[in-house]
Chain A
Amino acid sequence: MIDSTAIVLRGITKRFPGVVANDNVDLTVRHGSVHAIVGENGSGKSTLMKILYGEQPPDEGTITVDGTVRSFKSPRDAIAAGIGMVHQHFMLAGNLTVIENVILGDEPGRKWRIDVDVARARIAEIGRRYGLAVDPDATIDELGVGERQRVEILKVLYRGVKILILDEPTAVLVPHEVDELFTSLRDLTAEGVTALFISHKLDEVLAIADAITVIRAGRTVAHVLPADVDAHQLAELMIGSELPTPETRDDTVQPETVLALRGLCLHDGERVVLDEVEVVVHAGEIVGIAGVEGNGQRELLDIVIGIEQADSGSILLEGEDVTTLSTRHRREIGLGYIPEDRHHDGLVLEAPLWENVMLGHQTRKPFVNGPWIDKRAAIERTEQIIEAFDVRTPGAEVAAVALSGGNQQKLLIGREMLTDPKVLVAAHPTRGIDVGAQAVAWDAIRDARAKGLGVLLISADLDELIGLSDSLLVIYKGRIVAHLDPARITPGELGSYMTGAREASGATR
Chain B
Amino acid sequence: MNRRKLIELVGAPFAAFGVAVVVSSIVLVLAGYNPLDAFDAMWSHINGTDALIDAINDAAPYYVSGLAAAIGFKMGLFNIGVEGQYRMAAFWAAVIGAKVSLPAVLHVPFILIVAMLVGGAWASVPGVLAVKRNVNVVISTIMLNSITVALVALWLKDSHFRYRPNPADLVPKTKTLDRSAWMPDLNAAIEKIGFHFPANTRLHGYLVLAAVIGAVFYVLVWRTRFGFDLRMSGANPSAARASGVNPNRMIVMTMLMSGALAGLVGMGQMLSEGHLFGDQFPTGLGFAGIAVALLGRNHPAGIAFAAFVWSALETASIGLSNVEIPQEIAKIMQGTLLLSAVVVYEIIKRQSAAATLRAAAETTRAKALEVSTA
Contacts and interface: CB of A to CB of B under 8 A. Distances in A.
Interface of A: 16-20, 42, 216-217, 240-241, 305, 307, 326-332, 337, 339, 344-351, 355, 358-360, 362-363, 368, 371-373, 392-394, 398-399, 401-404, 407
B365 interface: yes
Contact of A19 (B228, B243, B353, B358): B358
A339 B363 contact: no
Contacts of A19: 358, 361-362, 365
22 contacts: A16-B358, A18-B358, A18-B361, A19-B361, A19-B365, A216-B372, A327-B243, A328-B244, A330-B244, A337-B242, A346-B239, A348-B232, A348-B235, A351-B231, A351-B235, A360-B243, A372-B225, A392-B363, A398-B360, A402-B357, A402-B360, A403-B364
Contacts of B368: 42, 217, 392
A407 B224 contact: no
B243 A355 contact: no
A171 B242 CA distance: 25
Contacts of A331: 243-244
A392 B244 contact: no
Contacts, number: 121
Contact of A350 (B235, B245, B367): B235
Interface residues of B, number: 36
B156 to A, nearest CB: 41
B369 A217 contact: yes
Nearest to A342: B239
Interface in B200-255: 223-229, 231-232, 235-236, 238-246
B242 A305 contact: yes
A307 B224 CA distance: 24
Given A331-B244, A373-B228, A398-B356, A407 B364 contact: yes
Given A359-B243, A371-B226, A401 B353 contact: yes
Given A20-B365, A344-B239, A355-B228, 16 more contacts: A19-B361, A19-B365, A42-B364, A217-B365, A241-B371, A305-B242, A327-B242, A351-B232, A355-B232, A359-B232, A362-B243, A392-B364, A392-B367, A393-B360, A398-B359, A402-B360
Nearest to B232: A348
Contacts of A392: 360, 363-364, 367-368
Contacts of A351: 231-232, 235
Given A18-B358, A19-B361, A404-B364, A327 B371 contact: no
Contacts of B367: 392
B14 to A, nearest CB: 25
Contacts of B361: 16, 18-19, 402
A217 B364 CA distance: 10
A402 B368 CA distance: 16
B282 to A, nearest CB: 35
Residue of B235, B365, B367 with most chain A CB atoms under a 10 A cut-off: B365
Contacts of A358: 228
A20 B361 CA distance: 10
Nearest to B245: A328
A240 B245 contact: no
Interface in B228-286: 228-229, 231-232, 235-236, 238-246
A241 B368 CA distance: 12
Residue of A216, A328, A368 with most chain B CB atoms under a 10 A cut-off: A328
A349 B236 contact: yes
B238 A18 contact: no
B243 to A, nearest CB: 4
Contacts of B231: 351
Given A18-B361, A392-B364, A348 B236 contact: yes
A368 B243 CA distance: 15
A347 B236 contact: yes
A352 B245 CA distance: 19
Nearest to A359: B243
Contacts of A404: 364
Contacts of A398: 356, 359-360
A326 B246 contact: yes
Contacts of A373: 223-225, 227-228
B350 to A, nearest CB: 12
A346 B238 CA distance: 8
A342 to B, nearest CB: 9
Contacts of B243: 327, 331, 359-360, 362
Interface string B333-374: 000000000000000000001001111111111011101100
A462 to B, nearest CB: 26
Contact of B363 (A20, A217, A346, A393): A393
B362 A18 contact: yes
Nearest to B357: A402
Nearest to B233: A348
